Amino acid sequence: MRKILTIIFFSLLIPNSINANPIKANWVVKKAIVSSVFLKTEDTIGKEQFFSREKSEGVFFNCPFGAGEVSSYTTYNYDEFINNKQFKIFKQNIKKLNFPINNKIYVEKLTCADNKSVLYPFIQFENSDIAFYEFGLGIYQLNKK
């Protein structure tokens, strides 16, 4: 009986682990809300950023298969996010952004052990196909492909 209860307990945990990562998709850079000081806007628009559980490839972040990609995210509501000093650039440009007010906001951080690269903050919204990424004082809007 104890073994059965243990199996049931762990099987209930597995679906939450699998669905816990909102970023895993293929994204296309649609526009630069604010241009980066390090990237030319024309070099990013239309480019893709792919994330899976095994590897990531694209214009902003690359981590090969088996290279030690680790991801984590924090969930915010609109007020928590916009009033967080860490996301000041988004608050300064809020009129240019189309943030859904009533959806959860996921702020993802990915790191790659192999090449020591970091992708942060990658912002995605609950029930939305739009994401934002801040890089080099620029803000990019991406759409799920």
Q: pLDDT per residue over 2-57, tens digit each?
A: 544 444 444 444 333 333 446 688 999 999 999 888 888 899 999 999 998 889 99
User: How far apart are the C-alpha atoms of 131 and 38, rounded to whole Å?
Assistant: 20
Find the length of the chain. 145
Residue 135 resides in a domain: yes
| 2, part of any domain | no
- Give tens-digit pLDDT for 123-141: 999 999 999 999 999 999 9
Helix (H, G, I), strand (E, B) or coil at 15: helix
Looking at the domain assignment, is residue 11 inside a domain?
no
> Phi/psi of residue 55, each to 5°?
-160, 165
Domain with 89, as residue range(s), is: 23-144
Q: Hey, what are 91's tokens?
A: 């608050």
pTM beyond 0.75: the answer is yes
Taking only the tens place, the pLDDT of each residue in 57-101 is 999 999 999 999 999 999 999 999 999 999 999 999 999 998 988
> How many domains does the structure of the chain reveal?
1
Distance of alpha carbon 118 from alpha carbon 76, whole angstroms: 21
